Amino acid sequence: MSQTPLISVSDLSDDAVVVDVREDNEWHAGHAPNAIHVPMGSVPESLDALPDTDETIPVICRSGGRSDRVVQWLVQQGFDVVNVDGGMRAWAAAGKEMQSEDGSEPTVI
């Protein structure tokens, strides 16, 4: 069985476009500024929401478990994707910029 491709938060630019597969309440509480929100359960029917790029697409969740499963599935579909190691918890711990949907102090829940 192959390993899921991983990328460290430190290897991503602060303005990286990432696909955030967390639930709505998690997204609203805090996310990367250029993230694209595609909740895990809607990924199969939302493939057109993924960035149209020749670059590898980072996929993120809270800690890396859900995004790991999404990355495995997307790789099987032929996408060039990578799991963000440690997820939004690692993003926040690295001091990277975040924003919330309501303007409040962003947080990872």
Query: Any idea which residues carry the catalytic annotation?
Result: 61
What phi-psi label fits residue 11: left (phi over 0), alpha (psi between -120 and 50 degrees) or beta?
A: alpha
Taking the CA of residue 13 as centre, how many other CA atoms within 13 Å lie in the half-sphere pointing to its CB?
5
